[in-house]
Amino acid sequence: MKIREVYESESHINLLLCNEIEDENFINGDFVVQSKISKHSGAMELLRSMFLPAGYPDSVTSDYMSYQVWDTAQALSSSLSGVLATRAMLRGYGVGNAAASVGSAVLQWILRDGAGMIGRIYFAWKTGRQLDCNAKTWRFMADILNDIGMTLEMLSPLSNVLFMPLSVCGIVSKSICGVAGGCTKASLTMHFAKNDNMGDVSAKDGSQETAVGLVGMFLGAALSASIPDESEQTTTATVAIWMLFFILIAFHLYCNYRAVTGVVLTSINRYRATLIYKHYLQYGEIPTPIQVSKRENILFRDDKQPIYLGASLLNIINLNKQQQQQQQSKEIRESKTNSIIRHKLENRYIDIWQFQQEIYISLKVHCTAVDLIQAYLYSVAILHQTKQQNNRAFIDLVTSKSFNDRLLSKGWNTDRQALDAEGWRYSIIN
């Protein structure tokens, strides 16, 4: 009898030979080790176990490594540009200036940090749901905000009058980056963790960031030491510092763009739902997540549809009453204003109401992610209402019983959705 055992993506393979025995407890047999194979050297295996999730590459999605490589490069460039921004801020606080007041510097620091905290709370309040629904966009936006913040910090010491306003705006921008970056990182980690190993993926991501931070710290120290003091700086040196800063920022944004565009999310948000619909109109089939990812625009999304998912049933009732009252007047009757139209689907958990070019979707208690996806895609189709044959076919597909299976067969995840639905749900009480 021959036994082959493997360890985590076949990084180690053992082949064992055993004499044939009738006892089901075969470990009592005489075993001979035929071979022990390791794909990686001891040093490589140590690095893999330190910085990559257990079971890599089988334990994560196929886009994991590409994202991590570009994310590492952007983190290093951000660390170096951060050194230049911090150096400028310290100069603005009066470091190296004998006439500067310690109390004044402390007060300014407190004001900056306080403004940053307020900005962080306000941003999380206003955009909390959107961060999860549009993770790729906000991941990239977070780094744009970070670079804007550092640029403002670089500019702040150039004017004593504008130092506080610029530095406060800079810290607020960086604080918002912290919220957006942290939240979207959690969403991306959930995507990468293929084997319910989100904790391991997150921990190894933290280890990678720490290692990059250490390298950036040493490189930043060398960079800072090479920059002359303000009293010794020439115009050429100042121009060189600013050129280096903008080069680092440009490289930082490029790496972030490559990292984010390489991620293939399988959850359906409003933008990806629109792209699914447009692809079906053009080709007559549901696209795969990879096909949709190639068409995604990270910053300029076409998701501004007048579709109110999870709308309050009370608001819909009030809107209907207003329309009925308006239609009683002669002026409105002559203008032939449309009333609210109800679209009946076999799905008992969703109700779709249309008023002119607006769609209101009321949801019942216990509706699932599949119900929301079905309701939204159906609403997109009836909202556009093109004369193309594929539009009718798309509506028939969305309302069919095989709809969920068709999405799953293409690689979409229908266990969760990112459609930014409101929280209203209703139930009928007898």
User: CA 292 to CA 305: how far, in whole Å?
Assistant: 18
Does the N-terminal peptide bond of residue 53 adopt cis geometry, omega within 30 degrees of 0?
A: no
Whole-number Å distance between alpha carbons of 7 and 362 = 50
Query: Counting runs of H as helices and runs of E as strands, what totals does the chain give?
Result: 14, 9
CATH class of 64-261: mainly alpha
Q: Sign of torsion, CA 26 28 33 34?
A: negative
- Identity at 113, one-letter amino acid code: D
The per-residue pLDDT for 159 is 82
Going by C-alpha positions, the residue among 109, 92, 82 that lies closest to residue 230 is 92
Domain regions of the chain by residue span: 2-39, 64-261, 268-418
Which is nearest to 139 in space by CA: 80, 67, 210, 197? 67
> What's the confidence (pLDDT) of residue 75?
93
| Kind of pairing between the strands at 2-7 and 31-38 | unpaired
pLDDT at position 329 is 64
pLDDT of the residue at 55: 81
Q: What SS3 state is found at 350?
A: strand
Instruction: pLDDT tens for the chain, 430 residues: list them.
Output: 666 676 655 556 666 666 665 555 555 555 555 555 566 556 777 888 888 888 888 889 999 999 999 999 999 999 999 989 888 887 776 665 555 566 766 787 788 889 999 999 999 998 888 888 899 999 999 999 999 999 999 998 888 888 889 989 999 999 999 999 999 998 899 999 988 889 999 999 999 999 998 999 899 888 888 887 766 667 788 888 899 999 999 999 999 999 999 999 999 999 999 999 999 999 999 999 999 999 999 988 776 789 999 999 888 888 888 877 776 665 555 554 556 788 877 777 888 988 888 899 999 888 999 999 999 999 999 888 766 778 889 999 998 889 999 999 999 999 988 998 888 888 888 6
Structure tokens at 349: 């958990």
> What are the structure tokens assigned to 331, written together?
């002026």
Q: What is the pLDDT of residue 27?
A: 54
pLDDT at 158: 84
Buried b / exposed e across 270-289, counting CB within 10 Å, b at 16+? Answer: bbbbbbbbbbbbeeeebbbb
Cβ neighbours of 94 (radius 10 Å): 16
pTM of the model: 0.83
**Structure tokens that stand for 205 in this block:** 């991501």
pLDDT attached to residue 412: 95
Q: 411: how many CB neighbours lie within 10 A of its CB? A: 15
Rounded Cα distance between 307 and 377, Å, is 10
Do 339 and 327 contact (CB within 8 A), yes or no? yes
CA separation for the pair 349, 371 (Å, rounded): 7
Question: Angle of helix 235-261 relative to helix 64-93, nearest 10 degrees?
Answer: 150
DSSP single-letter state for residue 287: P
> What does the pLDDT read at residue 176?
94
